[in-house]
Structures are given as structure tokens and as C-alpha cells.
Amino acid sequence: MDLRFGDGKPTDEEREAVDALLGPPESSWEGADRDARDETDLRWARGGREARDRRDLLLPGLHALNDRVGWISEGALDYLCRRLTVPPAEAYGVATFYAMFSVRPRPATVLHVCTDLACATAGAGELCAAVEARLGPENGVKVERSPCLGLCERAPAALAIRAGHPPSGDISARPAFEDEAVQADSGGPGAAAPGVGNGKGRRGREPRYATAVTAPATPEAAITAATTPEDAPPEPAPALAVPQTGDPTLTLLRRIGTTDPTSLDAYRAAGGYTALRRAFALGPAGVIREVTDAGLVGRGGAAFPTGRKWQATAAQPDRPHYLVCNADESEPGTFKDRVLMEGDPYALVEAMTIAGYATGAHRGYLYLRGEYPRALARLTHAVAQARARGLLGDDVLGQGYAFDIEIRRGAGAYICGEETALFNSIEGRRGEPRSKPPFPVEKGLFGKPTAANNVETLVNVLPILTMGAQAYAAIGTPSSTGPKLFCVSGSVRRPGVYELPFGATLGELLTLAGVRDGLRAVLLGGAAGGFVRPDELGIPLTFEGTREAGTTLGSGVVMAFDDTVPLPRLLLRIAEFFRDESCGQCVPCRVGTVRQEEALHRIAERTGAAAAGDVALLREVGRAMRDSSICGLGQTAWNAVESAIDRLGAYE
């Protein structure tokens, strides 16, 4: 597709999907019928500047089409481009960037079957083969082998997504059949767009779509989810992903399983919004001081001091400031943020409000990965309830502070977990990382100062303010303070999210999870992390402790593998993942991830001297990616393979 508009025309259904999000077109220049307008409409263009200010609605618009029809036709894309005055070539580049979209005809139902690390060891290959043998386009279903769905504690997992309007009946009464659509709350950096506002006076709603999750999945359950999702068994409560539920010593997970996640009153009765009231008493500078004194660092893997980031954002004279919550946890083996959002959504809403207040932001964007339908439903409900009760909006808690949250749904791109790629995605561009500097605290979302944190980092702010910085800093170690969430999966009897203070050892965590006999290796940090041996379980789970041990803590992934798991096949799957997820922007990553996979294919069945040449090539390619890739994806794509070769003797 080139820069010009094509000859394709949108169907009535596609036009309705876009208009439900954007409102009816005001001018023939943005898609209205020319013969239905005043003749002056033919003499000059109207509304172009306003439409260009809504470029950030491109991703929601693509979701609207995909949710309604199941794919994005040329005519539908042309119509969306006219509405937003986006060149079709650019929109095509965005639409083809995300794995959950299709620009080719496909069935209305797509069944995503996870084939990543945890699911692969739990029989995902056999599950895929059985489902593919019984389902196909002739059954109205497209089966796709998917990267991690964030359901590692219930592997193997499958997610069915059906386009179109949901069937009649009370969908909300069926937990397995999520029925919430993203509702954009603003038109981006400028004024609100028609049909989009701060929760008031919307002209329409984005089309709804239906999903059903099944995990652990059997072929029969996956087929039921894809063909009759209303008959799929209900998803288990988030508490089942937290083996420690009910433990009075928990801090971050204490409400999960004990407090109704859909009830704002229940959340407030369990101590909710105490932290926000203290934040208003302290003032923005006081909040930043508490967070700094508590020693909170980012929980996404980079471990950057949160207080310094907030202070740097707040000090910028350029306005407006933005807050971004990175809820696009796509690292294989990671699911802690999903459990927090599903089981305690109001905590995230409160924490984002506090962060916005501290950094001088009046608008927060919550970027949620597209494979989390229940988290989307819970957060959409929580934001609406908080807004209705005066906890979001023009006057939060009567304190004269205005703050609101807009949820943006990702569409299947691991790279969008990198903060600048996430900014590009929100802005309606391809989710490719930006070069730094300038850093986000100076020029982030929409070119304005932006503080970006992940879900776990933000939720940690609540106990800091309720218990005080000193009490919080007393948890853990002097360099790694506070509690930490760990995602344990693989060869353990009790997989799930565990909360431990920093400083607990890997062995202590695996004992809690019930590691099985015959432990071969443990992967720390997910696909971008590193392997450790069974004789290294004394490693302290801190940022400095794992660094000294020559590995990484990352986002808290702990995947155990016993001696039944074929290690070469596992490494090949990691290489396939990085090749698929590379955005292709920089040569070292674009070429290096392909060369890494090719070499691993060649040596998968060879060992010793026969593999030595390819192992040497892997080291050379890995160094090049690490030293010269633009972002962390390319810089870490070699880590797990390197550690398996050096620590586990994978190809000896």
C-alpha cells in the first residue's frame, strides 16, 4: 500500500465501528458522504488540524475494526486514515506491526495457543497439534501458535477471541466470557475528540468483542472456548495464582483473595485510599521524598530509583507532564502484574493517582497488553467507579487536583514493554524504541516530560506512604528494599506469584513452591535472563546478589526445569521468540536474532566438536547484539543462551 488512498470502500459494519469510537465525521474531507453535505464542504477542507491532533487514536481505531470484523480491510483502513488524516502507508505499517491484527481476511474467531517456555514444557506442542487437527478456517476458527499469554501458573494456556457483537444475554454474569471494550478518555495531548472525553458526553462506544480463556487447557476445553466461549468453564479467581493467600504478613498481595476486586467500598474498607490522603497531606515534594527515602527502585528489571525519576519529571518546566503505567508485561514467565490488576485493580488506580500528583501530571495512560481480557474488564470498571466517586476527575477527593486515567490496549508486541516503544504505540506509530537521550523525563509521551513505571513499582508506593519510608526500607536489604513479587512456574508443585522480602534465597523460594525432583536448571528473569544450576540455589534474590552471581533478577521470573525438559529445544524456543519479537529497526538485532536462531537450529542435534564452530559464531553474534543494539531486546537476546552454554554445558 502506498501513500495514496486506495479504491477500497468500508462496509457499513466497518464504518460503524470507527464512528462508534470517533463520532460521526464532520466533513467529507474526513469520510462523510459528499452529496450529503453543504456544497461549501467541497470548497475547502475543515477539521484537518483537529483530526491530526487525534493521531493517537489510530491504535484504538485498529482495535475497533479488529474487534468488530476480525481483520482490517483496505477499505476500513482507508476510512480510518481519512478520519484521522493519517497517511495510509503509515497506518498500514502500524497495523502490520502487531501480532493480534491481520490485514488479510481470516475467521472471526482466533484461538491463541501459547507455545512459550512454561507452556511448552507442559505439553503445548501436543495441545496445538490436537486442536489444529480438529479446528481450522472451515470451522470458522484460526488457530495461532502464540508467545507467552501470561498464564504460566496454569500452563498450557489458550485464549479465544471472537470478533463482532456478543450474543444476547447477561454476559457479565459469565466470568469466562469477558465483554469489556477499551474506552478512550481523551484525544491525546490536545482537546478531547468527538465521541471521546473524560467519561461524560460520549457519542458512542468502541465495539465490543468476546474472549474466553482456558488454562490449563485440554484440546476439548480449547475447542469449546473457540467455538462456544459462553460454555467455557469460568476462569479461576486470581487468588488461586497466589499460594500465600491469607498470609497476614503479605504487603502487596494482602487484598488478593480476601477483598472483592470489583467493589470500591470493599477496597476502601481494607485500607484503600489511605495512601492518597497521606499524599495530599505531604504534598508532591513530600511524596517524592518518601519514595526516595524508602529506596524504591523499578521492578521491571532496570532497577532505576523511582524517586529520582519522579523528581526529574516534576522539575521539568515544560508542560503538560504525563504519567504512563507500563502494564505490557510480555516477558515469558511473567504474570505478577496480571494478578495484581485482576485481583486488586483499585490499588493500581490509587497508585497512579499518587504518582500523577507527585510528578505534576494530570493525565495518566495505562498501557495494558492485549492478551489480558479480565484485567481490562476489572480496570475499566475500577476507573469508571473511581471517576464516579470523585477519586478521579477534575477535583480528586476535593483537593483541587485534577487527574484522570485512560486505558490503552496493546496488540501483541513484546517490544512495547520498552518505554519509548510504548510511547510510540500510544501515539499511533509503530512500537519501535527511540534513541536516548533525550530521556522520557525530558521528552517522553507526546514530546512532554513523562514518568513511566510498571504495575508492581507503582503498587509499592502505597505501603511506602501508609507505613512510612523508614519502615518500608527496613524490609529487605540496604540496597534492595521492600517486598518483591516472584513469578514461579515450570517444574514446581505450587506455581504462582510469591511475595518475599528482598534477600530471600532462590532455594527458599523454590521450597515454598515445592520444586520437583530432578531439578536441571532455573531460569531467572525470563527469556532475557539467565540460567543457574541446582547447586546455586543459595543466590540471594536481590539486584546486587544476582549481579554478583553473574545472572539477573529481571522482572522476577523464576522458571524451574527438571531433567525431562530438552534444554536444546528450550534454547531454540527462546531464539525463535526474540527473532519474532525484534522490531527490526536496528541491524544488530534484526540480523543477529535470525543468525542466532539459525545457529541453534544447526546444533540442536549435535554436541561437542561438531557444534564448536556454531557456538563460536553464537558468541560473536551475541557480543554484537549486546554492544550495539538500540534497546534491551537486542542487548539481552543472547543472555539465556550464553548462560546455558557456560553454566549448564548445554552443547557438551
Fold of the CATH domain 239-473? Rossmann fold (3.40.50)
User: 22 or 35, which is more confident?
Assistant: 22
**Dihedral over Cα of 356, 413, 181, 73: its sign:** positive
Closest CA to 578 of 611, 531, 621, 617: 621
Fold of the CATH domain 1-106+190-208? Arc Repressor Mutant, subunit A (1.10.10)
Taking only the tens place, the pLDDT of each residue in 276-285 is 999 999 999 9
Positions of CATH 1.20.1440.230 in the chain: 567-648
Question: What is the average per-residue pLDDT within 418-434?
Answer: 97
Select the CATH number that applies to the domain covering 110-189+210-223 from these four: 2.60.40, 3.40.30, 1.10.10, 1.10.3430.
Answer: 3.40.30
Least confident range of 38-47, 141-150, 222-231: 38-47
Taking only the tens place, the pLDDT of each residue in 546-560 is 999 999 999 999 999
User: 210 or 161, which is more confident?
Assistant: 161
This prediction's pTM:
0.91
Positions of CATH 3.40.30 in the chain: 110-189+210-223
* Integer Cα distance of 288 and 275 in angstroms: 13
Highest mean pLDDT among 4-13, 184-193, 384-393 belongs to 384-393
For residue 190, pLDDT beyond 70: no
Query: What cell does 244 get?
Result: 500465600
The CATH number of 567-648 is: 1.20.1440.230
Cβ-in-10-Å burial (0-12, 13-18, 19+) of 169 comes to exposed
Question: What is the average per-residue pLDDT within 226-230?
Answer: 87
Q: What's the pLDDT score for residue 138?
A: 87
For residue 258, pLDDT beyond 60: yes
Identity of the amino acid at 643: S
Q: In what order do the strands lie in the sheet with 483-490?
A: 496-501, 483-490, 557-562, 519-524, 530-532
Q: What's the pLDDT score for residue 206?
A: 40
Taking only the tens place, the pLDDT of each residue in 570-590 is 999 999 999 999 999 999 999
Q: pLDDT tier at 105 (50, 70, 90 boundaries)?
A: very high
For residue 205, pLDDT beyond 60: no
Positions of CATH 3.40.50.11540 in the chain: 239-473
Q: What's the pLDDT score for residue 168?
A: 34
Positions of CATH 1.10.10.1590 in the chain: 1-106+190-208
Q: What's the pLDDT score for residue 5?
A: 64
Q: pLDDT tier at 185 (50, 70, 90 boundaries)?
A: very low
CB-based contacts of 281, cutoff 8 Å, min separation 6? none
Taking only the tens place, the pLDDT of each residue in 345-365 is 999 999 999 999 999 999 999
List residues bridging with 406 in a β-sheet.
365
DSSP 372: -
Question: What is the average per-residue pLDDT within 206-220?
Answer: 83
Overall CATH class of domain 483-562: alpha beta
